Structures are given as structure tokens and as C-alpha cells.
Structure 1
Amino acid sequence: MFEKKERKSIVVYLNYYRDVKKIKQVGDIAYVSRRGRYAVIYVDQDQVETLVEQLSGEKFVKRVVPSYLKDLDQNFVGNLWRDSDSVTIVEN
């Protein structure tokens, strides 16, 4: 049966836009910016560290930044209610 794998995005900054062809074999390309000369690719979670090291050593890559979205606290619901309770309205 189908098994879901954890994936993580990596932002690869390139020297030239034409170098996007070279990273197509590394992972699934989600977005490519011509003007910013970067590409967002998705790879399996267990391959992130090795691919970051491998891509950083390539001549056509400026820098590689992994996504930190999973590390952030995304529970925003409680924060909004706590702020509104602490504010008191004073009428003249």
C-alpha cells in the first residue's frame, strides 16, 4: 500500500538561471525564480543533510538553505485570545 514519506523543502540559490536543469535530478522542483535565481525543491526528510552538503560543493550553487517550517510553533489560536482578554475598555 501507499506509504506517506516526510518531505522537506530546500532553497537553492544559483549563479545562473540556466543551472536549474542541473538540479532537476536531485528532487521535485516546486518553484523557480528567474529574477532571484533560486529554486525551491522538495526532497525526502532523511536525505536533507546529505543533499545540502552535496549541493553546497557544486560550482553552480551560491548557497543552500533548508526550510525550518517544521521547527516553528504554528499554534496561533491561543495567542490571539490571550491578547484580547488582557485589554480592558474604559468608557468616559
Structure 2
Amino acid sequence: MKERSGIIVWLHSTKNIKALRRFGSIYYYSRRLKYVSMYCDLDERDEIIKRLEKLRFVKRVDVSFLHEIKREYSKKKGKDQYGNPYDLEDPLTLLPS
């Protein structure tokens, strides 16, 4: 399975959303905010971004950094906003006393 990367494409006009299908899989689009969220292959991402930036209806292209965010969390003790200790493993300690 190939690695995928997310791309956010900001548009001048939403008329040409269907034309973006040939560059990758469209995941979400917003007609009001005029952007498209799409996925493409990671190894082809740079050349796809260059081709997208040349299109007349594209305002800006951003790369999604979702794949770089740490998704594994450790269970450890911490402190709340007042400095009181709580245990993340025991949800009852999060309730106010």
C-alpha cells in the first residue's frame, strides 16, 4: 500500500472542483470557504503541487502535516490548571470534588 499525503487547495472559484479529481482523491470540499482537501501519493506530491499551482483557478496549495503528528499518547500523571495532581488512567480523578 502506498503512502498517502494530504493537500489543501485554495481556489478562486469552486466551479472547477471536478477538474481536481485527476490529481488525487478528493476527501472534502467547502464551497463557502473555497478550498478542497485531497489525498495523493506521497512520492508524487511535489510534482502534483507544482502542476496545481499552475492552474488559473488555484489560489494557493498547502501541504497537510497530519502524518507528522504524534498519535500515540502515554498514560502518565499530570496537573490540572490549578496545580492539583490527577491520574490520566483514572477518569474519576478528573471530576471536581
Structure 2 length as normaliser, TM-score? 0.74
Which structure dedicates a bigger proportion of its chain to strand?
2
1:3-59 deviation digits (Å, cap 9, x = unpaired): x11111111111111010221111111111110111111111101111111111211
Q: Which contiguous aligned blocks of 4+ residues in structure 1 show a shift greater than 6 angstroms?
A: none
Q: How many residues align?
A: 83
Residue 88 of structure 1 and its aligned partner are, at CA, apart by: 4.6
C-alpha RMSD over aligned residues: 1.9
When you count helix as a share of all residues, which structure comes out higher? Answer: 1
Gaps of at least 5 residues in structure 1 are none
Higher relative contact order (CA 8 A, sep 6+): 1
Listed as ranges, the gaps of 5+ residues in structure 2 are 87-97
Q: Normalising to structure 1: TM-score of the pair?
A: 0.78
Distance 1:76 1:12 in 2: 30
Residue identity over aligned pairs, in percent, reads 30
Partners of 2:84 and 2:43 in 1: CA distance: 46
